[in-house]
Chains A and B, each alone.
Chain A
């Protein structure tokens, strides 16, 4: 990933975190790749946090991928659509309006977790 794409991935992450109903982002990629990644970090082979937004280019095509957790008091499908809309606006501004955006809801928070977060954010 070049510096521009790294910046774009960071901006996508920021946009996703701001979407109402999105509680958290989880590392993108398969379970197997996450295990390998975590092992490499534990051994010091990899540094920093795991990527939360994956950007892949194939020719002119850009694919953006992220995994999100949704608050229990939001509707997961609505939150996913809102998240896609927000990312699309950002990508269009960056001249990447044709990018494919793949978002997966991987978890819906428990009600107590959502309540706890509301308490800490108020």
Chain B
């Protein structure tokens, strides 16, 4: 089985422009900054760009102060957690494999892209405040109906909250979404917490 996430040289912020239909994650960030004006059809019509924009909006909505705190932190050997998440957004937005949907007609060929499913998994972070999904992988042959699939998610969590509880809530939200929208035979959802973020108190949040 191949997994595009395992390509080492893609584990960086500067993913190739064609990963997002010819755009980079930086360009999409600038597009958000401009309020998506003037409209750019090459972004607005691209499922990959829209998936990435959804994730970028959630990231920015978490708290501008948190991102600024990361930017201001002492340089570390490892790349910043925001950059890791940005890289994950760009990777996860790619269409990937096509996952079959049962059709019941010999003339129908129905499917959902792996990118759409990863977007669905990432969106579960909305339901668990402070949690951000860094990367998401679907391990197993998703192109074969009924094949066992493990979902592997890297996450960042806020400091001060019990990690097992946050992971359980995120796992439950992911499971609900996958059951609602896909016919995947999900045999497990593994969540790895890679970063713990110190959330500013309400009065400290930058605006």
> Which residues of A does B touch, CB under 8 Å?
26-27, 31-32, 34-35, 38-39, 41-42, 49-50, 67, 69-70, 72, 75-77, 80-81, 84, 88, 98-108, 110-111, 113
Contacts and interface: CB of A to CB of B under 8 A. Distances in A.
Contact of B54 (A34, A41, A110): A110
Contacts, number: 109
Given A35-B18, A110-B54, A81 B115 contact: no
A100 B109 contact: yes
B46 to A, nearest CB: 7
B78 interface: no
Residue of B18, B22, B98, B112 with most chain A CB atoms under a 10 A cut-off: B112
Interface residues of chain B: helix, strand, loop or mixed (majority): mixed
B80 interface: no
A77 B112 contact: yes
Contact of A106 (B41, B109, B115, B123): B115
Nearest to A65: B109
B163 to A, nearest CB: 25
A33 B113 CA distance: 17
17 contacts: A26-B46, A27-B45, A34-B21, A38-B21, A77-B101, A81-B101, A81-B103, A81-B104, A98-B107, A103-B110, A104-B113, A105-B101, A105-B113, A106-B112, A106-B113, A107-B50, A107-B51
Interface in B25-60: 41-42, 45-48, 50-51, 54
Contacts of A72: 123
B109 A103 contact: yes
B182 interface: yes
B45 A108 contact: no
Given A70-B181, A107-B50, 13 more contacts: A31-B18, A31-B21, A41-B41, A42-B42, A75-B181, A76-B116, A77-B181, A77-B182, A98-B107, A104-B98, A106-B116, A107-B116, A110-B54
B110 A84 contact: yes
Contacts of A67: 47
Contacts of B119: 107-108
